[in-house]
Amino acid sequence: MDALGIAKATFAGLSMGGATALGLVERRPERFERIIVADSPCQSTPQSSQQWEERIAVARKQGIEALIEPTVARWFPPETVAKNPPYLDKIRAMMRATPVDGFIGCAAALAAHDYASAVAMVKCPTLFIVGEKDGATPAAMAKLHEKLAGSRFVTLPGAGHISNMDRAGEFNQALRDFLN
């Protein structure tokens, strides 16, 4: 933002980007008009930390390709995977293009982060949006919403972890409603 001369912005992030949004506004609140946190519990748990460590081990031993189909199955509901919409191929291509070291760095960060514990200190308008079928994330994000007075919370029926692709129309409408 400094390099581009942007003094204040709205920041939206999904998954790791959602945690980034919350972390940024907690550290530099004066820089953000509002934030959107999508499909992110914004906090590691002992179970999620172990899962990330296991994925790091797979990436080191077998490469990114070994993670692709398990990730698709985790990110999207079974009915979406069965229909195999074209955006799943885009996701697979994105993963294939990810350097192993880049994946390992991101996974290590996700294995040890906590922006949820300070969520109540956020002062700017905040939208929490999550896919209904994103595992434990909807419950975790509902808790974030409960802790942050004045925030908005939207659950997208039938959507998984990449809710902006699973329910693009509803996701975009939630963003428009929040931004307007």
Confidence band, pLDDT 50/70/90 cuts, at residue 151: very high
On whether both 62 and 37 belong to a single domain, the answer is no
Assign 93 a pLDDT band (cuts: 50, 70, 90).
very high
φ/ψ (deg, to 5) at 135: 55, -130
In a domain, 4, yes or no: no
96-109 per-position pLDDT tens digit: 999 999 999 999 99
The number of folded domains in the chain is 2
One domain, residues 121 and 168 = yes
Q: How confident is the model at residue 124 (pLDDT cuts 50, 70, 90)?
A: very high
Same domain assignment for residues 24 and 55: no
The range of the structural domain enclosing residue 159 comes to: 9-43+114-179
Tens of pLDDT, residue by residue over 59-82, are: 999 999 999 999 999 999 999 999
Query: Considering the entire predicted model, what is its pTM?
Result: 0.95
